Amino acid sequence: MLFAAQLDPAALIDPERDRFVKANASAEALLGYDRSELAAMSPADIHPHELARLNAFMSNIRRAGSWTADDLSCRTRTGDTVPALIRAQVIEIDGRELVLVLIRDRREHRLAELGAAVRQLTHDLKNTLSSAQLMCDRLATDDDRRVRLSAESITRALERAVALCRDAAGAGRARTPAPERERFLLADVMEELEATAVGATSLPRRLTDDSAGPVHLDVDFDQTYRILLNLVHNAFAAGAGHVAVTGQSDARGATLEVADDGPGLPEEGLCPNAWCKRPRAAPPA
């Protein structure tokens, strides 16, 4: 009754036959096997990646006789690996020497440790970013207009990073914030992209706004900026020298098109669909 009522997974092992004799309901739920399946299995089937440690652990148990503990990962029926603290002791039942094993699932403990490490890291990183933000505030008063524009772009990037750190510190993981709609011009995003994606580089790179007129957007500015920045960075990294963004807006909404003069993806083996084998429209030279 005590064995069956254990909240932690528990099992009895016959060390001579190297087989599971019995497992409680918690062990069956953790490992994903029922009693009949476990009866045909050995501990090595649960710890196939740590056989040397398992053998040493079982030898120590039989030699010491008292409670022995070690960290051993258990592989479940689905192939997942569960970090666990294994405690075991030799007991005698009806003249048979058996090993009583108690399994403590350490996944929540590992997640708690990871969360604490992430919170400490994001706290230190946030302090570092805050110092960089103060330097950008000084650059924002510079006489050179290009320096001021670069400072504004860096400040916005730092604000995004600080916000991500704040989310990570609060929840233990970074979360994508909900979109915040605001009205702005495509030209505003292009100005920031020009400062961050092209910048003062010696490489022959050009980023242009080929829209016929002002393009009004009513979306999240930061998320729009990140989407376009990824596309532009990827294009330049793949060998493009010119990336053109073309937008148009009306009462129904707005559309943006990004084109580049890079080599593109090879057709064979990557694109079996007919639609992506059409000739691509490259921006003007």
Question: Based on the domain organization, do 193 and 168 belong to the same domain?
Answer: no
Q: How confident is the model at residue 244 (pLDDT cuts 50, 70, 90)?
A: very high
CATH code of residue 227: 3.30.565.10
Average pLDDT (56-78) is: 80
**pLDDT higher than 50, residue 285:** no
* Residue that terminates a domain, selected from 76, 105, 134: 105
- Over residues 1-48, the pLDDT tens digits come to 777 777 788 888 888 888 898 888 888 888 899 888 888 888 888 877
Tokens of 139: 């650059």
Number of structural domains (the chain) is 3
C-alpha 277/C-alpha 258 separation (Å) is 18
Task: Indicate if 256 and 282 belong to the same structural domain.
Answer: yes
In whole angstroms, give the CA distance from residue 190 to residue 194: 6
Q: Do 75 and 114 share a structural domain?
A: no
Shared domain check, 21 and 71: yes
- How much is the pLDDT for 158? 73
Judgement on whether residues 130 and 223 belong to the same structural domain of the protein: no
Inform me whether the pLDDT recorded for 265 exceeds 50: yes
Q: What percent of the chain has pLDDT over 90?
A: 13
195 and 158 in a single domain? The answer is: no
Q: Examine the domain organization and report whether 96 and 186 are in the same domain.
A: no
- Whether 266 and 239 have beta carbons less than 8 Å apart is answered as no
Same domain as 84, residue 14 = yes
Do both 221 and 168 map to the same domain?
no
Q: How many CB atoms lie within 10 A of CB 173?
A: 11
Candidates 99, 56, 102, 48; CA nearest to 75 is 48
100 and 86 together in one domain: yes
CATH of the domain at 99: 3.30.450.20
> Which range in 18-22, 58-62, 281-285 is most confidently predicted, on average pLDDT?
18-22
Q: Looking at the structure, do residues 136 and 183 belong to the same domain, yes or no?
A: no
Q: Is the pTM of this model over 0.75?
A: no
Q: Write out the residue range of the structural domain in which residue 44 sits.
A: 2-105
Contacts of 9 (CB under 8 A, 6+ apart): 23, 24, 26, 27, 29, 30, 31, 102, 103, 105
Residues in the chain: 285
Final residue before a domain boundary, out of 54, 76, 105: 105
Domain end marker among 83, 105, 127: 105
Looking at the DSSP bridge assignments, the partners of residue 207 are: 243
Shared-domain flag, residues 48 and 130: no
